[in-house]
Structure formats: structure tokens, C-alpha cells
A and B are shown apart, each in its own frame.
Chain A
Amino acid sequence: MNQFERLLSDAAEELYRQVHPNFIHGETLTSQVFEATKKDEGLLSVTRSSKSAAKGAFERFLAQKCRSVGVVAVTIAEVVQVGLSAYDDVQPHEPAHAVIDFNGISEGDARRTRKRLALMAQARGWRFRAVA
């Protein structure tokens, strides 16, 4: 499947993102939640709501020995609104895996984009939250 075919276009679809326990203070998320690392090569891992429930995404994430306190989400419409694209990216460990592509934008634009996405996700609220 080429990149064009993998492009996600359902504006209402939500993309889930895991929240590390150190990345929430009170009810405030750090914009680092939406930071793609060098290891990710600018592609931020998310999970598609059309293929998985938030709880299922959370459980599969923990099964990989990663840490999370819950799941927040942005929509594909919001991803497009901030000037980015999202692509389907099925992985053996996560069939609902997708990525938000941060490549090709400046460091400052990437930082502002992360902040905007974090604000949007916070405004939407938790899609799943582990019981403390």
C-alpha cells in the first residue's frame, strides 16, 4: 500500500495517544505527550479508534512493558487543522497502529503543534483512564 492509500481521511476518527505517568501534573498534560522522538523518525505513534477501543489500546501498550496512566485523543480533523497528516501503519503488536507525521516542519512549528494537540486532547478529556 503506498503512502497516499494509507492516508487517514475520516475527519471524525480519533487517534489515541498513551500518557506516561510523569507526563501529567494534576490534570495538566505536558506537550511532551505529543512529541515524536528521534527513534520514531518524526512519526508519532497513535492508535486508531475505528479499529480499537481506548481500553484495548491501553492494555496492549502495557503488555509491551511500557508505562501509561491512560489514553487521550485527537481527531484526524484536528491533525489536519494543525497542518499535519496521519497514516495507517499496522504493526504486528498493534493492528490499529497509525502515525502522525511531524517530518518536514521546523522545530518551532513542531513545538507549537505539540502544544496545540495537547490542548485539544485535554479539552476532549480522557478516552480511558486507569484506576489509580
Chain B
Amino acid sequence: MTTDDTVFLAPILRGGRFDGHTVPVEVLADLAAYKDLVIEVARSLYLAKHPDRKRVPKGFEDSFRLTLKQIDRGSAIPVLVIERDPTGDLELEGVSEGSCQIYFDARDIIAECVQSVGDGHMPPERFPPGLLTSFNRFGRNLLADESIELAPNKQTQGVLYNPTVRRKLVLLQSKNYEKPLTLVGNVTKVDTDNATLILRTSNGTITASYPILMEGVIIEALKNHANDVRLSGMGLYDRNERLLRVTDINHVVQLDDAVSDTSADILARLGAMGDLRPGWLDGEGVGPDQATMNIASQILPDLIDREGLPAPAVFPTKDGSIQAEWQGMPWSIEVRFLPGGLRVTAVADNLVEGRDELISIEVSGQLTSELAAWLRPHLVASRRHL
């Protein structure tokens, strides 16, 4: 059991992957990044408080030990506690005074900054200038529908931190920011000296840095460059959501070129929708345009064959959209390819709790991976329920 006086943060993790009261291991890296952010802010506070000093006392970073004590229920709540050093080694000048107060101050300033920028204002003046880019590491493994409520304890309402707020914070100071991605394409070139590769996708070529331990897999992908690979990792984006490069790769899978029978069935059904004439629905309705058909024909087979999602049922709608439906309990999901082929909207309805989650995505080279990342946790939750 933890005691209230040692709890430093009880962040409430909400959204897809956290609905099962579990925390994916990738997200532990975000908690570590949060700890580093607290130390950076605390260091800045210390130096502001001690203008006579040029640097913090030796052992400053080590004096802040943050431990994941337990994961409580309520979506998923990892309880982070400060470990006090019983030997008194933490008695650093100005640091341990007031029971590590400087770290609690840093925690509160971070929350204040998140709140302010999330509400559309500038960061508070007491947030150290220059540290906004440190938010790039904290929360970069969160998916679009996930969030962290930065609550100091379980009794107090916290501040909402999600990918949108994180992006705002980072872009206040930097031109670029990172977020997870999945790309499909061919590896056309590998530079082993610099541990980079060139991936050719339907949207153009992109440079990707890979971990040196992955070199064998990457060389294999180059040898089989006629076949596509699916690559998951971290992408660097500019403020216009343009992918600049892949900064890290954590997974590479060789893909078979063949389209599955399931996808072939959907493609045939989509082809038939091209014959729909105005008034097809007993005098009402328009048929989907070619651009909408093209996007649906590209994305739906990719979701099934490359992302491994179950096949949806596919229907035309009266307004000329194409609607893919995954019916289940508790989540019943509709993805709509809107007329014009430029935008896709999706809504997941929780039929048990009577709530919904929505997303609207512009068509881009990352559409399949973004949609898959949003769909997957809902589909997994429904499968588990069934």
C-alpha cells in the first residue's frame, strides 16, 4: 500500500489501450520521460532560486527517485511515489528542504503549463523557457484517442494531457514534433554507416533511422525489395503534419503481396457501388464518386491484409459516402469515406455505456496506420467482450 504523503502523481490513463486497466509497456517510457521533465524543471527552479550558483549540487538528479508502485483501477492509474532516502543522502542544499518540495513545485508548474496551453493560452511565465520541447518525449507513445489526466493523487481532479495538447506544447518552441507511425513500402537503399534506409511508399520516399541491432532485418528487407514491408516506429512531423523522416524503428514486417479473398470480396463490392445511380435508395441517394471509391479500395484491403484487422461489412450511404461497419459489443464502429475522397470520419459507439468516440482524418499516406491505430483497441475490446 502507498501512503498519501509519498504519492507524487496518480495519472489517470484513458482511452483505447487503457480500457482494460492495463498499461502497455511502451507507455512506461512516457512515465520515465515525465520523470526527466520534472527533473529538468526542478533544476531550472533551483538555479532561479540560487542565482549565485551556476549548476545544481552534485547528485541532484539522483535525489529524485520516482517509482511505479501499483496500477489502480479506474481506466488505468499508475501510482508514482517518491522514494525517500532513509540514510539522509538527499540532504542536498536547497533540494530536500521541505520534503523534496522543489520536485512537487516542478510537478505543479508542469500541470499548470499543460492546462494553460491546452486551453489555448501561452505557457505560464514561471514555466522555464526552453523546456517546452521536453514534452516531445513525454506522451509520444500515446495514440490519438488516449490521454493522461495529470492528477496529483486519486482524490484530486487533474489536468488533461493528450496528443493534441502535447503537439501544441512542442510546436510552441520547435518546428517539428514526433508521433508514432506505421508505413508500408519497399526498402530501396540502406546506409549501414549511418544506420538509415530509404523507404519508397505510395506517398513518396522517406528516410528512416534504424537501431543498429535491427540491421539484419533491414538488409533482408532490402534483398526482398520487390515485396512491401510494414514499418512501425516514430515519425518526425512539421506543423503542417508533413512527415519529414522516421526517427526510430521498432518493428519491421515483410508483407506478402497477395490480396486476401476477404479483401477481394470487398473490392468487388466496392466496384459494384460504382454503378449506383442518383435515386438508388427508392428515389433518394447519390452514388459514391470515383475519388471516394479509390480511397476506400486502397485503405480497406490494407486494413485487413497489412494491419491484420477483421473485415468490415461495407455499404453505400445516401449522401455518396462509403461506410465500413464493424458491429460488435460493446463497440460498434462506422468508418465513413466522405464524398470527394479527401476525408475519413469514424465513430465508435459504446452500446453498453451509451457514449461515443469520434475521429476525423484527412486522407494522407499515413491514413491506414492512423485508422488502424484508432480502430484496433476498440476491436480488441469488443472481441474480448464477446
Contacts and interface: CB of A to CB of B under 8 A. Distances in A.
Contact of B284 (A31, A39, A119): A39
Contact of B356 (A22, A65, A66, A112): A112
B31 interface: no
Contacts of B351: 112, 115-116, 119
Contact of B315 (A22, A39, A67, A111): A22
Nearest to B287: A22
Interface in B274-303: 276, 280-282, 284
Contacts of A20: 281-282
A25 interface: yes
Interface in A4-26: 20, 22-23, 25-26
A65 B281 CA distance: 11
Contacts of B141: none
B325 A30 contact: yes
B313 A32 contact: no
A81 interface: no
Contacts of A119: 327, 329, 332, 351
B352 to A, nearest CB: 10
Which label, helix, strand, loop or mixed, suits the secondary structure of the A interface?
helix
Given A22-B276, A23-B315, A30-B323, A109 B282 contact: no
Contact of A26 (B276, B282, B313, B354): B313
A66 B325 contact: no
Interface residues of A, number: 22
B316 A25 contact: no
Contacts of B245: none
Interface residues of B, number: 24
A22 B18 CA distance: 37
B170 interface: no
B269 interface: yes
A26 B312 CA distance: 11
Interface string B328-368: 01001010000000000001010100101000000000000
Contacts of B332: 31, 112, 115, 119
B315 A25 contact: yes
A37 B356 CA distance: 22
A69 to B, nearest CB: 13
A109 B354 contact: yes
B276 to A, nearest CB: 7
Given A22-B280, A37-B284, A111 B314 contact: no
B382 interface: no
A65 to B, nearest CB: 8
Contacts of A25: 269, 313-315
B200 interface: no
Contacts of A2: none
A112 to B, nearest CB: 5
Contacts of B280: 22
Q: What are the 10 closest A-B residue pairs judged by CB atoms, nearest first? A: A28-B313, A25-B313, A30-B315, A66-B282, A115-B332, A112-B349, A108-B356, A22-B316, A116-B351, A25-B314
Given A22-B280, A31-B327, A31-B332, 15 more contacts: A22-B273, A22-B315, A25-B269, A25-B313, A25-B314, A28-B313, A31-B325, A109-B354, A111-B347, A115-B327, A116-B351, A118-B327, A119-B327, A119-B329, A119-B332
Interface of A: 20, 22-23, 25-26, 28, 30-32, 37, 39, 65-67, 108-109, 111-112, 115-116, 118-119
10 contacts: A22-B316, A23-B315, A28-B313, A30-B315, A31-B334, A32-B315, A37-B318, A65-B282, A112-B356, A119-B332
